Structure 1
Amino acid sequence: MTSLIVKTIFLIATSALSVSATAKNDHKKHVAKAAPAQHYAQRAEAMRFADDLAERRGLDREWVRQAIGQARLLREVPRLVLPPPRGVPKNWAAYRARFVEPVRIRAGLRFWQDNAEALARAEREYGVPAEIIVGIIGVETLYGQHMGGYRVIDALATLSFDFPDAHPRAAERRAFFQRELEQFLTLMDRTGIDPHDPRGSYAGAMGMGQFMPSSWTRWAVDFDGDGRIDLWRSAQDAIGSVANYFVGHGWTAGMPTHYAVRFDTAGLQLDELLAPDILPTFSAAGMAAKGAQVQGEGAHHAGPLALVELQNGADAPSYVAGTENFYAVTRYNWSSYYAMAVIELGRAVAAQRAVP
């Protein structure tokens, strides 16, 4: 998702996206054991929300009430958005292995071969390298193979009205999902799609690139020119939409995503360098003055940089100097681990494509 995807979920390096990848299987197991479905028509606060939404958006009141009223509580979903227990170590090597692996690389190669023209056009028109787009779609859904089996209306209603109070940012997250539910129903009304038909992730993300409804509304494009946007079945639309999303979040054509960095341990001011987290803050010279020397052409990088730390469990962390384009990748998912997985998967597929 996008920068709007639940931030907390993806701060956990070793488990974040593995939950998303296995959500369909978990859902099937729970369906067999679940208590009778609770529909939101039974919930007064959901119906009040429906009435207010219809009035503010100029939508048919009964249509909105029916759409939300027929949504079902997904009892397993609230636990999926809770942060893991404290003390779970982050491990970049383990996280990377989940995504930069032979099955995903082979699938990425096929996807690139099948969509080479669209990827090249997206790179020309938006300035986003094909390998970044390939990396995103590969990490998100294994090139459309795992787009999620939850009804989007159920996921969004569950997280709008039954978001777990135990979450440290429950009020903020609940409001976020209510906005997404509003965007989703507005989108369904505009496109004429039955709101009970779309399937997606347990958080309500849709299509090959896992766009939340607000991202779909703002950034999705009809890249295949057929007069409609279909992020589930049109690889071209997904490719163009991912590229457009990056441009909308500050992607600069031609800028690298990161550089290698070497420490001068005698003068290293690590705490100060890590304080801004992944937000590009320091010049290359400023980083060097604090004991982190950006390598290669990065020593002359004109824009701000961030020292990105990737923990490796009990082993020493890995570090890179992230540019504004690295930060742009994290706007798709607020995690440096995610961003590096996207970048390295895309590079691995590109390297395989270059093999004679």
Structure 2
Amino acid sequence: MHRRPFILSSVATLLAAGTPILSSANPRQQKGRRSEPSEDPARPYLLREDAMRFADDLAARRGLDPQWVRSSIGQALFIRSIPRLMLPPPRGTAKNWRVYRSRFIDPVRIRAGVRFWAANGSALARANEQFGVPEEIIVGIIGVETIYGQNMGSFRVMDALATLTFDFPPQHPRAQARQAFFQDELEQFLSLCHRTGMDPMTPLGSYAGAMGMPQFMPSSWVKHAIDFDGDGRIDLWNSPTDAIGSVASYFQGYGWRPGMPTHYPVQLAPEADMDALLAPDILPSFSQASFAAKGAILTGAGRDHAGPLALIELQNGSSEPTFVAGTENFYTITRYNWSSYYAMAVIDLGREVAAAR
């Protein structure tokens, strides 16, 4: 199975199982607030030798003031609920696309999307022109992630990243790799704060440390966030224009192909080789000819598609799964969150908002 770096907090395994996305809040309006009272106020990371060693090493490698790094990490608090939220669902938990979809494509989110599009139409059109990413895809991302900024989360980012750096749950099946990922995100976050003058104890975000309307992890902020409103700074909490441009920049960075559909309907022959078709997971791996040879037939506009394809399976509990043929652009959406359920929710929400306009 193809693996990728984790980009955002909306952790694909949890999303695919239906776990809600949490996100970040306006740091200027909610300075110092946390999502919940500290569950263990006696456990600031200042008291942890491993945390202070990490701080010294980080400062040396990044050329940062050691006392500032020690103080920043030392003020972070262990949040007991966060490691539990990172654990995958129990084995045998049934996935259900129809239930999952209903959590994101609902009247409240669609109406909010219509308002967002009306208020930010020029920025969306400019992002489409500059980066080639359709307005409805950007609208779908920001709507699924934070309901257009209504639910940007309320964990202190510093608490979340420190908890996952030093207390990642060891029972997670990929604990070592995931903990290393969050160590890097903590390093990226502190470097970003130092470079921009942002107080690391102020920003609020998701339980995994994602920030702003588009829920960017620190590494994604560093690589892809842009000042799209031209005010001289990047603000993903308060500037919808920056959020729109940054999402488009992100997709361009991950290979979005302008004009290419995200997926097509597919017909499966009774003798289709499902093991072979599903083996690459969401990674487009089949030419249309090899797709057809294994029993997956495209119809309509899909017959003219020239690029690689993947058979996308969306399980529906005890009912028959839903299948589509995913293109390279479908795969690009999963770079935002490694989940075909997530990608389809983004696509469907964008389409529903466009239709409601």
The reply on whether 1:15 has 2:18 as its aligned counterpart is: yes
The equivalent position to 2:322 in structure 1, one of 318, 327, 350, is: 318
Cα distance in 2 for residues equivalent to 1:94 and 1:153: 33
Contact residue 262 and residue 293 of structure 1 kept, 8 A: yes
Aligned runs of 1:17-36 on 2, under 5 Å? 18=20, 20=22, 31=37, 34-36=39-41
2:94 aligned with 1:92: no
Q: Which stretch of the first structure deviates more once superposed, 196-205 or 282-291? A: 282-291
Write out aligned runs for 1:254-265 (5 A): 254-265=259-270
Instruction: Indicate the RMSD between aligned Cα atoms, in angstroms.
Output: 1.8
Give the CA deviation at 1:6: 5.7
SS at match of 1:96: helix
In structure 2, what residue type is equivalent to 1:328? T
Cα contact 1:47–1:69 (8 A) shared by 2: yes
SS of the counterpart of 1:341? helix
Whether 2:308 is the aligned partner of 1:308: answer no
Q: Does 1:54 align with 2:56?
A: no
2:18 aligned partner, one-letter code? S
42, 47, 71: which one pairs with 1:42? 47
Is the 1:152–1:199 Cα contact (8 Å) retained in structure 2? yes
The correspondence for 1:213, drawn from 206, 211, 218, is 218
Q: Does structure 2 conserve the Cα–Cα contact (< 8 Å) formed by 1:9 and 1:83?
A: no
Return the offset for 1:4.
Answer: 1.6
Q: What do the CA deviations read for 1:67-87 (whole angstroms, capped 9, x no partner)?
A: 000000011100000111111
For 1:4, give the aligned amino acid.
Answer: I
Question: For the residues of structure 2 that align with 1:255 and 1:3, how far apart are their CA atoms?
Answer: 25
Task: Pick 1 or 2: higher relative contact order, CA cutoff 8 A, min separation 6.
Answer: 2
Structure 1 residue ranges without an equivalent (≥5): none
2:352 pairs with 1:352: no
Counterpart code for 1:337: Y
Question: Does structure 1 residue 72 correspond to structure 2 residue 74?
Answer: no
Query: Cα distance, 1:98 vs. partner?
Result: 0.3
Three-state SS of the structure 2 residue aligned to 1:320 is: strand
Q: Tell me, in whole angstroms, the C-alpha distance in 2 between the residues paired with 1:123 and 1:30.
A: 39
1:196 corresponds, among 197, 201, 208, to: 201
Is contact 1:156–1:180 with CA below 8 Å preserved after alignment? yes
The answer to whether the 8 A contact 2:23-2:215 is kept is no
**Cα distance 1:237–1:351, how it changes in 2: closer, same or farther (>3 A)?**
same
CA deviation after TM superposition for structure 1 residue 15, in Å: 1.8
Question: 2:72 touches 2:201 (CA, 8 Å); kept in 1?
Answer: yes
Partner of 1:120: 125
What is the aligned counterpart of 1:136 among 138, 141, 145? 141
Number of residue pairs matched?
A: 346
Segment drifting more, 96-105 vs 288-297: 288-297
Distance in structure 2 (CA, Å) of the matches to 1:294 and 1:154: 48
Partner in structure 1 of residue 29 of structure 2: none
Alignment partner, residue 30 of structure 2: none
CA displacement at 1:284 relative to structure 2: 1.3
Amino acid across the alignment from 1:31: P
Q: SS in structure 2 opposite 1:342? A: helix
CA-CA distance at 1:158 after TM superposition: 0.2
Task: Please give the per-residue CA displacement for 1:324-347, whole angstroms capped at 9, x wherever unaligned.
Answer: 000000000000000000000000
CA 1:152–1:80: 2 relative to 1, 3 Å: same
The answer to whether the 8 Å contact 1:39/1:72 transfers is: yes
Structure 1 residues 59, 21: CA separation in 2 closer, same or farther (over 3 Å shift)? closer
Deviation of 1:236 (Å): 0.3
- Give, in angstroms, the shift of residue 28 of structure 1: 7.9
1:299 to 297, 303, 322: 303
Q: 1:204 to 1:146 in 2, by over 3 A?
A: same
Instruction: Compute the displacement of 1:36 (Å).
Output: 2.8
- The one-letter amino acid of 2:93's match is V
> Paired residue for 2:8, among 2, 5, 9?
5
Aligned twin of 1:172: 177
Q: Which amino acid aligns with 1:77?
A: I
Counterpart amino acid of residue 178 in structure 1: Q
More helix by share: 1
Deviations 1:146-182 (A, max 9, x none): 1110000000000000001011111111110000000
